[in-house]
Structure formats: C-alpha cells, structure tokens
Structure 1
Amino acid sequence: MPRFHISLLFILILSCSGKPVSNSTEEIVSSDKEVVCFIYHRFGDSRYPSTNTPVKDFEAHLAYLKKNNFQLLTFSEAIEYLQSDKPARKTAVITIDDAYKTFYERGLPLLKKYSIPATLFINTKTVGGGDYMNWAQLEDAIKHKVEIGNHTHSHDFFLNQSAATRYKTFKDEIELSQTIISEKLNTKPIVFSYPYGEFDTKMKDIVKEVGFIAAAAQNSGVMYSGDDLFECPRFPMSESYSAKDKFIEKASMKALRVKKRSPNDYIMPKGNQPLLTLTFDGEGLRLNQLQCFVQGGECALDVVDKQKVVVTLQAAKPMTKKRRTLYTITVPDKQGIWHWYSHLWINTAVD
C-alpha cells in the first residue's frame, strides 16, 4: 500500500455506518451514490499546523474539484442528494468548523472566486471573540453560498461530563445555539457537527430528536447512500495532509460498505484493547490485499468468515495514552481504487 494511504490513516476517521440503533450490531443499507466530504478549520495560520490549511493548498483543492467536474454541494444538499433518486455523480462537499477569522479573510474569497458552496459549523459562544468571525461576517458569508450549521454553544468535551448531566447539557446547548443563530442570522441550521468529533449513541439520538437531518464527525471516510446520516465522515485537512497529490487521493477514495459492526459504541471499554467485528460487502474487492491499522500501534486482523467476509480487528497492545484512537481497515478493488472503513475509540480517561 502506498505511503500516502498509510499516513492518511492517522487522521481521525469515522465512516458513515447504517441506521442508528441501540443494540450491539448495526445493519447498513448499500447503494451506489457516494459523497467525498472535506473538513477545514484555519487558513494560512501556521501557528496551528494540526488544523491549518495553507491558502495555496486550499486553492489547489478548489481548482481541482472544478476542473474535474465534481458536483459541489453544501452538506445538507449532499444529504438530500444521497436520499434522492437522482443519478450517481462525482460529488464533493467543503465544510469548515469553528468559524475562525482566517476563513472569512482567506478561505471565503477563494470559494467566491471558484463559485463553490460550503457549510460552516459555528459554536455560538465564541462568535466575535478572539480569532473567531463576528455576526456581520457570518451574515456576509451566507450571501456567498455558505450554509450555517450547528456546532453547539460552548464546543465542550461533553463525554467528560457524567451521564447524569451530559445529555441535558448537550441538548440544552444545541437548542440555545439554534435560538441564537436564528435570532442573529435569520436562519435555522438543519445540519450538525459534533465538537471534536466525539459522541455516544444517546448524543446521536438527541441530535436526531432535535430535528437535524444529519450530523458530521471530524473524521475521514466516504459518505454513501444508506449510511447512518448522524455519524457521517469527512476528510480532515491540515498541513500534513493538504498537499495537492494527497488531496486528489482523498477525492478518489471509496467507502468500504460495512453491513454489520459490533460493538456499536465508541467509548473505550475497560482493558483499552477492544475487539471490533465487521461484516462487509466483498464484491469486486481484492480481499487478498486486506489490511488493518491501529493508530499509533499494531493491528491484529483475523478473517473469521471468507464467504460472508467477517473480520475482527484488535490492537496488539492496550491503548492508554491517546484520547482518540482509530481502527482502520483498507482494501483495493479490482480497478486499484482503495476502500476503507474506520472505527473511532474514545478514551475519556485521557484529557
């Protein structure tokens, strides 16, 4: 597997994965339509390389998408497209989290130049403060094909709160943010982004209950028809991964169509060495090239059933130092295009 694929696996990844249910196994519906979605934070701000995208790289991304005839949609338009009976097209979405000033100053002018829409997820508590856009700038962005999404009020680590307070606080913040955005911008968001990409199954249910049509995580992967729309993946951009050749590889990625997974949770269990079982559609894939990776460690892969393509993934050693760790499985198809699926484990004992 080429080095750029391996390095790419160290980005936070979440694959969209089926209808939201509360039991331990999740059923996923297959279809042909896919959407590649990208997440950005800062632009031309080298103080924060892990969330910064050089301006020249961002322009190269937009120029590539335009030149190669991608259908370019907002996040909510992409959800509508996936759920519609429209024919499959090469489709991409640009999203930006947190609404830093550098988006308004350096990112938005390029979106305007290439006439590309985008979705901006904002946390309302920080609007107008420090490095963040103010309400006038947000209002101006809306005039230029920018959709506003909800990113909670405080952008807190909600999983650090006890279950007794977490869900009420989470819901209250979402609703407060909705009210503020409606009052300040005269628009009501219909899409949501989890702060830090962290959530549990009940938080996901709350997002749906509040009335959003979909939610995005801060992790890479490819959206496809039939996915769980409340844990959709995005390819994160940073200085380490935003070079044009790496961007093109991301834009060409395909989803690994996982049909079942167990467990259906993201919180790191006791022992810090969880076993993940996946069943996926192996049609057209070169299964002899199947690989697995554990972020920051070694992965043990076992093919339990070759006919149904049931595999297990497990870290070779306990994962105790990182808050977020990925299990990722990748495989090329017969045309040489890589497909992947990643599952995120969150260790709430690590700050």
Structure 2
Amino acid sequence: MRAVVVEHYDSIDGISIREKDLPEVAAGEVRVRIGAAAVGFVDGLKVQGLYQTKDPLPFVPGTEFAGTVDSVADDVAGFKPGMPVLGMTRSGALAEYISVPSAALKHLPAQVPFEAGASFQANYLTGLYALEARALLRAGETLLVLGAAGGVGIAAVQIGKLMGARVIAAASTPEKRAFAVRHGADETVDYTEANWRDTLKTLTGGHGPDVIYDPVGGEVSLQAFRSIAWLGRHLVVGFASGTIPALAFNLPLLKGGALLGVDLAQIQKREPETHARLIAQLFDWLASGKLQPVVGKVVPFENFREAFKTMQSRSALGKMIIKFP
C-alpha cells in the first residue's frame, strides 16, 4: 500500500509517499480501506516535530479518517467487510489502509460521504465539549467564535446555533466571514481592524460576548477577553496564531470572567461518561441531518502537501481533506 511516511521531522516538502506493507489485523482490530482523511493544525506540527508529544520515527501522520471495512479480527463483533466507518487514531490515517482497535471506529451513516465523515469527530467533539460541558452555553447567550472559518471554528459556529446561541463569527477576510455566515453565523467581525472591539461592542449592545471560543491565541485573544461580558467564559482551544498569550490576572477579576481549558486528547480518559454522552449526541445529530459537517478543500492523495500548506497558511475554509482513489 502507499502511505505518507515521516522518516525524519521536516517541513512538508521533505515528506514523501512511500510503499509500505499492508497492516496486519491483530486481535481486537479492524482494517479499513481509507476513502478520505483529514489534515489539521496538529498534523502540521507533528511532521515537523513541533507538537508537545512526538511520534516515534518513522511514522504515518493523520488522526481522522473515513472509509470501508476491509478485514475484521475473529474476536471483533459489530463490524463487517464493506461497512462504512469513521475513526480516530494517534497516527496512521494518511495511508491507503489502516488497522485500528474496533473501539476507535464508529459506523458512518449511509448518507454521509467519506469526506464529511473524516472532518467530523475531532472538531465537532471539541466544539460540543467546550460549549456544552465547559462553558455551559445557554440558549439566547452571545457566542463569539475566533478563527470562525477554520475547521474547529466553523464547527463551533454550527454547534452554537444548534444550542440556541446568537453567534458572532470573527475572521480576517471577507471570504472567511461570508463562509461563516453561510454556515449559521448571525453577525461577523473583522479582528484585523484596529477598532474591531468597538464593532463587537455595538453588535452586543455594550454587553460583550457571554462565551468566547478561541482556537487562535496571540494578541487577538487578549483583546477578546477585554471585551467579555460580566461572568463570561473564555474557552482556550488552541493557538493557531503560533503565540500563547499571557493574561494579566486583574482582568478576570475586573470582568468576573473565567478562562476554561479545552483539551480533546484528555476527555475520554478523564471524563468517560461525558465523552460517551457527547459522542452519542453528535452522532444522533449526524444521522438525523441536524448537523452536516463542513468539508473544506478536498485534494487528491498525491497532492497531500497542498492540504498541509493551505492549512498552515491559515487560508483554509473548513477542514482540509485528502481523498484517496
């Protein structure tokens, strides 16, 4: 089979597609022929060795995928060859085939294409956990989503609307702001403008956003927190800007506001009941059509570098997807 193989930590231009043996199917595992895989911000850091944990070399990057069951271990029930599935794993998704424990897979509703399935689980679980379990977002509250046109941002826009919030999407270009509106945002703001906080104040009637969903970091995070409503909640999701901000402790005191961390990697281990409940909610929305995952740019497997470069340039609308033949 073919796979993207990281033989040494490098820029994406130094990473190539290689031939590898078809993965074995060990006890408890399912082998999937991958139809589509997602590329996220973390994947870009991992191939360069810049993420907070390092995958042992050599490794195949990619954590999210959707495809068709190819082979099933004798001790696995619930999955059969030909069945459409989606999954998450530590690494290995940028390959034509992957073997994973059956617990890493979910059934993909028949009406959902592989591209949408691959873009679903991480971003939407992050969004629902942040907004429902951490911020306790209530219907009628105002939600400000920073970086609203990216994969994790647009998921928060959609989930915020499903939860009954008024959603203000913050993004840096007219194209990105229009994209957010198409997927449910009520208002938009350009956080590259010097007076963007004045615009936000006007949009919220002087109240400020009750909840801030922040995968961006940097100076924009500090400015957003200065505009937060009394008893507001600021969700720290990531640092796509490349800069981790330092907040003066007097600001939470003066604003009555709270900083709340959101780490997808720890939810299942530390809060298994919450994880199970949120996954069930997400897949109910997916199966019913209430939630339709946003698919960003789709590139063929051979052009995988394009997906990484688009994502790293922060020009992506939605999640970047690599499609396999």
TM-score tier (shorter): under 0.3
* TM-score, structure 2 as length reference: 0.28
Structure with bigger RCO (C-alpha 8 Å, 6+ apart): 1
